[in-house]
Chain A
Amino acid sequence: MLTAAALCPAAPLLARELTGADPVVPELRQACRDAADALVHTDPEVIVVVGAGERTRTWDAARARLDLSRYAPGLGAGPTAVETPPLPLGLGCRLLDEAGYHGRRELQEVGANEPAAVCAALGASLAERAVRVALLVMADGSARRGVKAPGYLDERSAGFDSEVGRAVRDGDLPALLALDAALARALMATGRPAWQVLAGATDGARPTSVIRYDDDPFGVAYLVASLTVG
């Protein structure tokens, strides 16, 4: 069953080397590190990293590596013989590595277009993997939160993201299953499927949560939170 979860954004700039000499968002990275540390310290049997991608599939955690070369050619891609999962999973792996986690690890990609019910069922199955399952959910809110945002301003962003924030803060995760997939896509809120996997994994339990970061310094909603169940 699910015993703990951590929510972190999946922005490329979380990788420190991508922002040049300026750390740009050190407080966001610290919040993510804190969330990962807290997750590791819940003593899970397995941590499943969940992030959206092209389609629903698992990745071999032993072979998968964060590959930033697609975002910054020339920064040193590292070994190319290993598998390159989508960025959310790669960033999640790095967070676990930095937290010193050497335990069992699984990587779950969830298709960007999966409907809520499929996401929920996937989450429920992940929760069955062990007695103590933890999820590291890499997910972002709207990327249309201002005129300088990547997707320009969409006035609906504020309501969408605040509802996500409320659901997480209140432990009301079933509310995440009600998120409108079409609206999320319109708002460039790439985290929708991953949040719904999390909701499915809780099996109606009401987690307590700590919000570690909730801001949009570049017009994208970043939410960092730690959740514990039971």
Chain B
Amino acid sequence: MSDTADSQPGRPGGPDSGGPHSGGPDSGGMLRLGKRAFPPGQPLIMAIVNRTPDSFFQPGTTWTESAALDRVDQAIAEGADIIDVGGIPAAPGVEVDAAEEIRRIAGFIGAVRTRYPDIVISADTWRHETGRAACKAGADLLNDSWGGFDERLAEVAAEMGAGLVCAHVGSQRPRTRPFRVAYPDLMADVLEQTLRQANRALAAGVPADRIVLDPAHDFGKNTWHSLEVTRRLAELTATGWPVLVSLSNKDFVGESLDLPPEQRLAGTLAATAVSAWHGARIFRVHQVLESRQVVDMVATIRGDRPPARTVRGLA
């Protein structure tokens, strides 16, 4: 079946789903990451591999290189399209400078690249020095969760031929928690900030088909904000830029359901399904197998992906 993303009836979107916003490319075209090209309607699973001892979810489980490589093997076996390697937790804590961050991720990215020549690798960093080292080691995408805090990161992406994630964090600085954050118009702020970064990346020379927007749930947001960007994600996908969502086991899920990180899978998958329905294309996750099934199921409901095998009632 050919992709029919532009002609599906019954697409989600109420009065707020809005028309196209300025700055986007022609309606949701091909996304290129590394050697790979992904059409609209093909959801991508980005597996989180933390090279940290202290991230919030299952801290330290992939701190050693062998454990991290095992995690990569498992993630790819379970259907991951992208391996996202990070060396610094989002939350405040022990200082990790650029040299230490590079030490944590660059060599490992090289090892993953050697092991999987064609897999897409992303580096979760906001620093341009780390970004350059990661790209030299084999990274294809710079996943900047901190909203372009280091303006030179876009230049590095352009120089190295990498993609760039443009995230909304409000006025938050890296590794800080939101404190009484407020937005007169949250979605307008999300659109304005992500599109401004996308245009800056374009100006820096990053090709349009390698730029991704991320509303950045929980970054510079309370739970209400994260719920709102989930509910109104169609306004971001309507820009035509590919949208990444990072929902996995986050506090907005935990606060919604009053559950600790290790019990947030079902809530994460619910948010994943809603985001997929609204047209998100990349899903940054801890649990690959379950997320893969959810996004594939939603893509099938949307009509973007054929069922694997249908005979019921058709014989």
Task: Write the residues of chain A forming the contact surface with B, with a CB cutoff of 8 angstroms.
Answer: 11-13, 17-22, 24, 71, 74-76, 143, 149-150, 217-220
Chain A residues near B303 (CB-CB < 8 A): 74-75
A11-B308 contact in complex given A17-B1, A76-B4, C-beta closer than 8 Å = no
Q: Could you tell me if A21 and B314 are in contact, using CB atoms closer than 8 angstroms?
A: no
A120 to B9, CA, bound (A): 45
Closest Cβ–Cβ distance, residue B98 to chain A (whole Å)? 45
| B178 at interface by CB-CB < 8 Å | no
Q: Could you tell me if B313 and A24 are in contact, using CB atoms closer than 8 angstroms?
A: no
Q: Could you tell me if B306 and A150 are in contact, using CB atoms closer than 8 angstroms?
A: no
Q: Could you tell me if B314 and A11 are in contact, using CB atoms closer than 8 angstroms?
A: yes
| B35 at interface by CB-CB < 8 Å | no
Q: Could you tell me if A21 and B307 are in contact, using CB atoms closer than 8 angstroms?
A: yes
For A71, the closest partner residue in chain B by CB is B314
For B10, the closest partner residue in chain A by CB is A74
Contact of A143 among B7, B8, B309, B315 (CB under 8 A): B315
Contact of A13 among B1, B306, B315 (CB under 8 A): B315
A12-B309 contact in complex given A74-B8, A74-B303, A75-B1, C-beta closer than 8 Å = no
Which B293-315 residues sit within 8 Å CB-CB of chain A?
A: 303, 306-311, 313-315
For A218, the closest partner residue in chain B by CB is B315
A19-B1 contact in complex given A76-B7, A143-B315, C-beta closer than 8 Å = no
Closest Cβ–Cβ distance, residue A27 to chain B (whole Å)? 15
Interface string of B242-274 (1 = CB under 8 A from A): 000000000000000000000000000000000
Supply 6 further A-B pairs (C-beta < 8 A) apart from A20-B307, A71-B314: A12-B313, A19-B309, A21-B307, A22-B309, A150-B313, A219-B315
A11-B315 contact in complex given A20-B307, A20-B308, C-beta closer than 8 Å = yes
- Mind listing 27 A-B residue pairs with CB under 8 Å? A11-B315, A13-B311, A13-B314, A13-B315, A17-B1, A18-B310, A19-B309, A19-B310, A19-B311, A19-B314, A20-B306, A20-B308, A20-B310, A21-B307, A21-B309, A22-B308, A24-B311, A74-B8, A74-B9, A74-B10, A74-B303, A75-B1, A143-B315, A150-B315, A217-B315, A218-B311, A218-B315
A150 to B309, CA, bound (A): 17
A13 to B313, CA, bound (A): 9
For B1, the closest partner residue in chain A by CB is A17
Chain A residues near B309 (CB-CB < 8 A): 19-22, 24
A21 to B310, CA, bound (A): 8
Chain B residues near A21 (CB-CB < 8 A): 306-309
Chain B residues near A17 (CB-CB < 8 A): 1, 306
- Which among B9, B10, B313 has the highest number of chain A CB atoms within 10 Å? B313
Q: Could you tell me if B308 and A18 are in contact, using CB atoms closer than 8 angstroms?
A: no
Interface string of B1-32 (1 = CB under 8 A from A): 10010011110000000000000000000000
A120 to B1, CA, bound (A): 41
